[in-house]
Chains A and B, each alone.
Chain A
Amino acid sequence: MDYYLSQAINGICQGSIYALMAIGYSVVVGVVGLVTFTHGEVIMLGAFASFYTFQLVGNNLIIGVIASFLASAFIGVFVFKICYERFFNAPRHISLICTIGTSMLLRNLAQIIFGPNNKPLLEVVPNRFFGQGVVGLTLVQIIVIATVISLSFLLFLFFNRTRWGIMLRAVSQDKTAAAMMGINVRLTSLLGNSIGCGLGGVAGMLLAIYYQTLVATMGGSAGMKAFSSAVLGGLTNIPSAAAGGLCLGIVENLGITISSASFRDIFAFIFLLLVLIVKPEGFAKKTGVRP
């Protein structure tokens, strides 16, 4: 029983990383209005940005967060220029194929630049344990959950309290109407896309710290998990996407208790299939918009 409980706690912790990836994904899809395959690569690059930052300035988590956010946000600009900007009015599959191409490009460049092997990222956070027996939290887990919660809170403030946040919400609801209200849709989407990608980057850093390793090909499964979680919110609803991430983390960690850790990704996939079969439009509340 204790084992399952500790796995559930691990699940919540990992789930909160997935939640952050899914939040980033939902922001991107919501603001840009086009689905992306590059998110996994953006996450991976965030992880590498933090890795090199830690090597340069030492294990300072705050600087790591900022560095991974900025690096991924910058990649977001690049992705936006290549995949979205020209294709807002084109059929969707064109920008979709572009994002696939960009994802290939980024992953293979990363493999060349960073090398194909796993890199260890040890002892960024001291190995400490709070709790009794098997039930408890490690310091890493506390830091991960705290980072995710504080970033979500910042995002919430940004969306509801700032001018730019409100413009972003307007753009994600209706680009034409937003343009008629004098909002620069292009610039706002660019900003929203960068924020979403930046959040993905921070999630990548957390993943690397949590697993104490990172590799250039980690983007594939990360992107898949971001998508699976976001599907729960119909790809654009942020709170539901976060809930999806948590569920996914728990499902995965309970799943590997009945099998082996190498099947971890299979549970993410089964989770996605189940969501698609049971409730494909996601659990977000439908507002009065026609389908």
Chain B
Amino acid sequence: MACILEAQSICKYFGGLKAVEKVDMQIEEGKIFGIIGPNGAGKTTFFNICSGMYRPTAGRILFEGKDITGMPPEAIARLGIARTFQNIQLFRYMTVLENVKIGFHIRTRSGFLNALVRDRRYREEERFIENEARAVIEKVGLSPYVDTLASNLPYGLQRKVEIARALALKPKMLLLDEPVAGMNPLETRELSEFIIRLNAEGYTIVVIEHDMKFVMNTCHHILVLNFGQKICEGNPAEVRRNKAVNEAYFGKGLVVGGVS
């Protein structure tokens, strides 16, 4: 399988704090890749580097063999990496539909003149956006809420709006930052199934998550970070057995069972 995203000894320091220290990672195309680790392990920082929010102190990020280190987020989004945020960043005063419509920005190109004249391209694009946006909303199961203000939705559904908005970009890779935080077990299972379904459609997906059960059931491959460093990598079974991982989560000498 081809490697779609590659991180080469990425470091990110905030002053004296080593948030991410020499992390290597290779994400294969078409897989669900999980990144786990205790709080403050540097997961979100790592995500922010991949999506261009931060510039790494050292190291390189390659996307489909192209060096994207230090590119601005909007350029990276254009290349085909879409993301969601840990602390939900929806356009809170827009409806679900409007939120998703903005996701089509990079897939349309009408400019000032098109908008002024409302020529054929403009009309076709507007129709395309309207239909596609509704289709994406349908796909994540938010159809009843098309015209609801994003901020009026319950927490779990807001996360879904973010996913829908990211899907609107038709990305090659989807970065989900704690997608099930704040969801109940039922919603979590549904989202897990949904992610697996998306993956089957060909999306490469990277997930940061705390919920072990979710990660173990969903991901093909898992990377474990602790204090900014990679302590383990492998499939769920390998990670479950790994001693360093258990120590990172529960401390030394206290491990009774495995992580489950």
The interface of chain A, by Cβ under 8 A from chain B, is 286-290
Contact = CB atoms under 8 A, between A and B. Distances in A.
A173 to B, nearest CB: 14
A280 to B, nearest CB: 15
Interface stretch (B12-20, B22-30, B111-119, B121-129): B12-20
Contacts of B16: 288
Nearest to A290: B14
9 contacts: A286-B15, A287-B15, A288-B14, A288-B15, A288-B16, A288-B17, A289-B14, A289-B15, A290-B14
A289 B16 CA distance: 10
A286 B14 CA distance: 9
A288 B19 CA distance: 11
Interface string B1-45: 000000000000011110000000000000000000000000000
B17 to A, nearest CB: 5
Contacts of B14: 288-290
A290 B53 CA distance: 12
A289 B17 CA distance: 9
A286 B17 CA distance: 12
Contacts of A289: 14-15
Contacts of B17: 288
User: In which size bucket is the chain B interface?
Assistant: under 10
A289 B19 CA distance: 12
Nearest to B54: A291
Contacts of A286: 15
Nearest to A288: B15
Contacts of A288: 14-17
A84 to B, nearest CB: 24
Contacts of B15: 286-289
Contacts of A290: 14
A88 B14 CA distance: 27
B93 to A, nearest CB: 12
B118 to A, nearest CB: 32
Given A289-B14, A289-B15, 7 more contacts: A286-B15, A287-B15, A288-B14, A288-B15, A288-B16, A288-B17, A290-B14
B188 to A, nearest CB: 29
Nearest to A286: B15
A123 B63 CA distance: 71
A288 to B, nearest CB: 3
A137 B26 CA distance: 68
A288 B57 CA distance: 14
B55 to A, nearest CB: 11
Top-9 shortest CB links A-B: A288-B15, A288-B17, A288-B16, A290-B14, A288-B14, A287-B15, A286-B15, A289-B14, A289-B15
A288 B16 CA distance: 6
A288 B17 CA distance: 7
Interface string B164-206: 0000000000000000000000000000000000000000000
Nearest to B45: A290
B210 to A, nearest CB: 20
A286 B15 CA distance: 7
A112 to B, nearest CB: 40
A287 B16 CA distance: 8
A287 B14 CA distance: 8
B52 to A, nearest CB: 14
B41 to A, nearest CB: 15
B184 to A, nearest CB: 29
A289 B15 CA distance: 7
Interface string B130-172: 0000000000000000000000000000000000000000000
